[in-house]
């Protein structure tokens, strides 16, 4: 199948390109420098020229805190840009697989969020990602919107790399215990996104993230144990780390789909990512 991957220079985009190539697809990787998805006409021309069977949209504004003061750019990419890609795909009869976020929820539940649960983002990032979901659904019926969470992987800023760096420099770190989610390795998610591109019958919203859940504190402990780093992890609360954007306290994703795509355990994702770093 001919696939076009937007945002191919980013952390997730790179993993998707690698996964699709390994699976034998004809992949056109498009970076932000090569395609500005906020330009509707440029996006239309690019897709009309490439004529893929499916588009996997990994292009996104992902700076959660930065979005609070830079909402125009966040909206341009996450909402309007996503809609541009979906509309351009619809014009050529292409399917779109789009990546969204657990941050469309307010974190008020204490059991996994399902695809049909009411959305109520707490910040600009979640608001613009939700607007992107809505824009896509409005212009392209052949869509799969994938909400995922707590991404980490090669080629981009992420929590695992930050902990590895800080853990090597310090004897102890304070990490929050009151935010719980599903850490997801891009290497696992990428394969699921490609699989969805291959399944035109699988439309609508999908929740796909690392299996299981933990707090950021528990994730840090797992990282240090597996990496053999001797750094004490102290408990902390979100109130001790005031940030521009409020995070949901509980954003664990579950699925009510009949045959959901299930990723390996988040612990396995940490182990495999660390192994790829050693190999590299």
Q: Is 125 a catalytic residue?
A: yes
Q: Are 187 and 272 in contact (CB under 8 A)?
A: yes
Q: How far apart are the first and last CA of the chain?
A: 29
- For helices 159-169 and 216-227, give the axis angle rounded to 10 degrees: 60
What are 61's two structure tokens? 């504004």
Residue 229's φ and ψ, nearest 5 degrees, are -100, 130
What are 195's two structure tokens? 């699989």
145, β-bridge pairs: 98, 205
Q: For residue 218, what is the enclosing H or E element? A: helix 216-227
Of the residues 61, 103, 125, 250, only one is catalytic, namely 125
d(CA 60, CA 78): 6
d(CA 77, CA 84): 9
d(CA 63, CA 193): 22
Catalytic residue IDs: 125
């Amino acid at each position: 199948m001919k696939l076009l991957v937007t945002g191919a220079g980013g952390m997730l985009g790179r993993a998707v390109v690698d996964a699709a190539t390994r699976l034998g697809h004809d992949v056109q990787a498009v970076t932000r420098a090569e395609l500005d998805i906020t330009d509707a006409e440029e996006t239309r021309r690019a897709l009309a020229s490439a004529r893929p069977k499916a588009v996997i949209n990994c292009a996104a504004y992902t700076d959660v805190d930065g979005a609070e003061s830079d909402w125009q750019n966040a909206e341009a990419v996450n909402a309007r840009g996503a809609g541009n890609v979906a509309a351009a795909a619809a014009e050529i009869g292409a399917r779109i697989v789009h990546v969204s976020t657990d941050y469309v929820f307010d974190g008020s539940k204490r059991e996994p969020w399902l695809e049909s649960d009411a959305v109520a983002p707490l910040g600009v990032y979640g608001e613009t990602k939700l607007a992107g979901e809505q824009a896509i659904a409005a212009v392209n019926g052949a869509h799969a919107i994938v909400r995922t969470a707590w991404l980490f992987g090669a080629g981009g800023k992420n929590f695992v790399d930050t902990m590895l760096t800080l853990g090597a420099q310090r004897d102890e770190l304070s990490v929050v215990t009151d935010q719980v989610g599903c850490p997801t390795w891009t290497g696992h998610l990428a394969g699921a996104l490609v699989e969805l591109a291959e399944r035109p019958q699988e439309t609508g919203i999908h929740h796909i993230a690392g299996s299981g859940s933990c707090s950021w504190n528990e994730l840090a402990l797992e990282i240090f144990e597996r990496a053999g780093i001797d750094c004490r992890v102290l408990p902390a609360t979100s109130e001790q780390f005031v940030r521009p954007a409020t995070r949901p306290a509980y954003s664990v994703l579950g699925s009510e789909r009949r045959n959901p795509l299930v990723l390996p355990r988040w612990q396995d994702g940490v182990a495999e990512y660390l192994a790829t770093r050693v190999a590299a």
